[in-house]
Amino acid sequence: MATLKEVVPELWGKEIFNTSKAGSFMTVRGVFPMAKNAFLATSFEHREGFTVSLDTLEELGIKPDELLIAQCRRFSELAAEALSKPKKKQGEYNSMERHVKVGLQSLVDAGLPLEDAKVLVSVSLQDLHGQGVREPSCIPCSYACYRRETSPLTWLRSLLSGVVK
């Protein structure tokens, strides 16, 4: 299995970049290391958001559908934890700090080493901050991934090919 630095050495540069392996969604059409739905009601422009291509994830030994499922599971846990608290404390769970933790945990759950996960989340945060995003707008996923009739990866690929509108 290849390492992130071998597969996408550009991540160690100072600027956000666009290659076929990682970069803006419009270039890469990949998976967001930090769930895009968490930021849609902010200044975040998801078409320009940082993603990692499906092929790159697979080259790193990560099945993209396992990453999406891990994100959904971790966000469901976060939402359940928030809902178990008094209403005035629930908003504390929808913080950038907690979303960073979920992003890291999801990447590691899917099989990426922690150091590589930190790089992807760091580049993703740099992109979000560059777009003026300081906090997420919601806790995404909940149990939606578990209720789809197809796997999240099949759904994502069909969305990208224009089959799902």
Per-residue confidence (pLDDT) for residue 76, from 0 to 100: 82
Amino acid identity for residue 133 in this structure: V
Residue at 165 is within a domain: no
Residue at 119 is within a domain: yes
For 23, the enclosing helix (H) or strand (E) is strand 22-24
Q: In total, how many domains does the chain have? A: 1
The predicted-structure confidence for 44-58, as pLDDT tens digits, reads as follows 888 899 999 999 999
The predicted-structure confidence for 146-157, as pLDDT tens digits, reads as follows 344 445 566 555
The predicted-structure confidence for 91-122, as pLDDT tens digits, reads as follows 787 889 999 999 999 999 999 999 889 989 99
Mean pLDDT of the chain: 79
Residue at 152 is within a domain: yes
Domain residues for the domain of 48 are 4-160
Percentage with pLDDT > 70 across the chain: 76
> Residue range 68-72: average pLDDT?
88
Concatenating the DSSP letter of every residue in 81-114 gives HHHTS-HHHHGGGSSHHHHHHHHHHHHHHTT--H
Question: pLDDT band at 13, cuts 50/70/90?
Answer: low
